[in-house]
Amino acid sequence: MYGFHRVASAVNITTVANPTKNSDEIFKLLKESYLKDVSIIVFPELTLTGYTASDLFLNQLLLKSQNSTLEILLEKSKHISTVAIIGIVLLHQNRLYNCAVVFQSGVMLGIIPKIFLPNKKEFYEKRHFVSGKKIKEQSIIFLGQEVPFGIDLLFSNNSELTFGVEICEDLWAVTPPSNQMAINGANLLFNLSASNELIGKAEYREELVRTQSARCMGAYIYSSAGVGESTTDTLFGGHAIISEYGSTIAQNSRFSLKNSLVTADIDLERLNFLRLNESSFSDGEVSNFRAISIAPIPQIKELNRFIPSTPFVPSIYQEKNSRCEEIINIQAHGLIKRMSHAKIKKVIIGISGGLDSTLALLSTHKAFKIMNWNSTDIIAITMPGFGTTSRTKNNAVELCNSLEVTLRTIDIKKISLDEFEAIGHNPDNLSVTYENVQARARTSILMNTANQEGGLVIGTGDLSEIALGWSTYNGDHMSMYSLNSGIPKTLIKYVIEYYKRNEEIAHIIDDILDTPISPELLPHNDDEIVQETESIVGPYELHDFFLYHFIKYGATPQKILFLANHAFDNYDKETIKKWLKKFLWRFFTQQFKRSCMPDGPKIGTVSLSPRADWKMPSDANIDIWLEGLE
């Protein structure tokens, strides 16, 4: 389903040195995962015997019991196509190895030995095991099956899914084996672990899993031994973690006395295409891994994953202050550098009382505060036209006065009427010409004032408008430094709310946020806004969603539609499709505006600057993108 696969991390009830009981719990979880359409499930380290069996690993009876139990488990699971990864002790060539065995439908697909053996404090694995670090290109006969054996195994469905396996301490190593697995195509990485509980260790463990998923640009699925392990010297809490590309998307509650099964739907299509966009990923040196094919695996019937409707906005509210501070600082210091380099002391900014110009003004004011520059050198100009309402104008004036910037008002109606007369346009004809004359008049005033004052014109257009081409070419499309060019509309609202901490302007911010988005270029009735942008081009929350998935990893229109239907419950499918078509049409036809957009600071991972992030021919054909939606 659009590249999604369900994976699971299981923590089974453990009975130390009793493979039969452990196998029963393993099978329960394996069967449950199969019924839940799980493609691959991982269990804790040394699952069948228990990790803490200690010197019993050297006892013949425990090894015989483990092997005979594994044979029974394989037989019982013949009808289960979910791939299982469990931990076993392997006796091979008079050596014991701590291993993971991968099996599906009763057939062992491969056995992977542990490389890094902890041998300090409460861990003493070298007492029993040897490292498998040199084992490559080998196969062994085990339980009557010929099984690939070594650290050079990757498992694939010969399509979008490839996974690798490492064991516990391997992740803690300076260079985890999963690094090389990822370079060689593994987008799913599984870890069977026995990590004990110490104060603060759970947080560190989760961070380690999460950051490794980011480093490998994949998903990392981790399962650690549970409380049934021996407590002679230490306690195991049974930590199950699933992280995808730097974010933990599922984990369990530790210290459970019952079986634990954590599942998550991983977007492998997204991960694969993200790797295409990271040049450093492809620079990794490919080595010789053996590719092991897996049989068809369960496919999810219904997506069970939260898809954020505002992907540009942080999902964790507690991060708001730090995230907004970072955005504001990027904007402010970008402007400081530009002004310092050009030896310019003043800025010119058009203020409408809308979201974009409000954020640009606030961030500019922040830059001046950082540098102890005089705020009166911020020249804010309101330029009322035929559609300007008193609400937006008053908000603009009040905000400028509160920030103690220089405020000027220049009415553009007469200038526009003169332009209409010069080009022979009937002012009763409210066409695009009527609107664009006003937009260009405003830009002309800003540019000419900048010449007059020796200042820098600050652009206020945001990333969403740039994506849609919702600007007048060589009008509000142009500036000397485009401060908001890296921030989409949904994120601008989020950042402006942060400024409500300043009680003096909080009430102004509230009204600006509550004002419908409008260019205010058409005549109003009774001082009411008659031209709402979102009724013309569509809701910005939808367009920002489309933009993120289209640019971030090149999602197809069909997948974007699928994800949007999952993320939004306030729009029906046909409405979403309608605006998605509009987004694609505008995005393709308006590229020529992006090809000559002014400089501006990049804020997030998505940018449309033609100098760095997005290069596209202005005459690219849109047909195949629209066909996919029919």
User: What gap in Å lies between CA 226 and CA 254, rounded to an integer?
Assistant: 8
Contact 51, 236 (CB under 8 A): yes
Question: Following CA atoms 519, 603, 571, 302 in sequence, which dihedral angle do they give, to the nearest 10 degrees?
Answer: 170
User: What gap in Å lies between CA 600 and CA 331, rounded to an integer?
Assistant: 9
User: What gap in Å lies between CA 168 and CA 171, rounded to an integer?
Assistant: 6
Please name the residue that has the structure tokens 């300090």: 120
Instruction: Determine whether 324 is an active site residue.
Output: no
Q: What is the DSSP string of 244-288?
A: ETTEEEEE--SS-SS-EEEEEEEEHHHHHHHHHT-HHHHTSPP--
Active-site option among 21, 25, 114, 125: 114
User: What gap in Å lies between CA 237 and CA 302, rounded to an integer?
Assistant: 31
Return the CA Rg of the chain.
30
Q: What is the 3-state secondary structure (H, E, C) of 280-303?
A: HHHCCCCCCCEEEECCCCCCCCCC
Closest CA to 26 of 112, 103, 91: 103
User: What gap in Å lies between CA 112 and CA 88, rounded to an integer?
Assistant: 10
The neighbour count for residue 463, using CB atoms within 10 Å, is: 29
Closest CA to 459 of 373, 376, 356: 356
Strands 346-350 and 378-382: parallel
Contact 475, 439 (CB under 8 A): yes
Please name the residue that has the structure tokens 């004036």: 397
Instruction: Determine whether 114 is an active site residue.
Output: yes
User: What gap in Å lies between CA 206 and CA 253, rounded to an integer?
Assistant: 12
Closest CA to 333 of 360, 308, 363, 354: 363
Strand-pairing partners, residue 96, are: 91
Active-site option among 125, 166, 168, 269: 168
Strands 260-267 and 290-293: unpaired
User: What gap in Å lies between CA 144 and CA 133, rounded to an integer?
Assistant: 25
Token pair belonging to 606: 């998505």
Active-site option among 21, 25, 45, 99: 45
The neighbour count for residue 386, using CB atoms within 10 Å, is: 18
Strand-pairing partners, residue 221, are: 190, 242
What CA–CA distances, in Å, run from 563 to 3, 277, 318, 528, 547? Answer: 12, 21, 26, 36, 13
The neighbour count for residue 317, using CB atoms within 10 Å, is: 7
Amino acid at 435: E
Q: What is the DSSP string of 174-211?
A: SS-HHHHHHHTT--EEEEEE--B--TTHHHHHHHHHHH
- Judged on CB neighbours under 10 Å (0-12, 13-18, 19+), 537 is buried
User: What gap in Å lies between CA 381 and CA 397, rounded to an integer?
Assistant: 9
Instruction: Determine whether 489 is an active site residue.
Output: no
Torsion-angle region of 101 (φ positive above 0: left; ψ -120 to 50: alpha; else: beta): beta
Q: Which residue numbers are catalytic?
A: 45, 114, 168
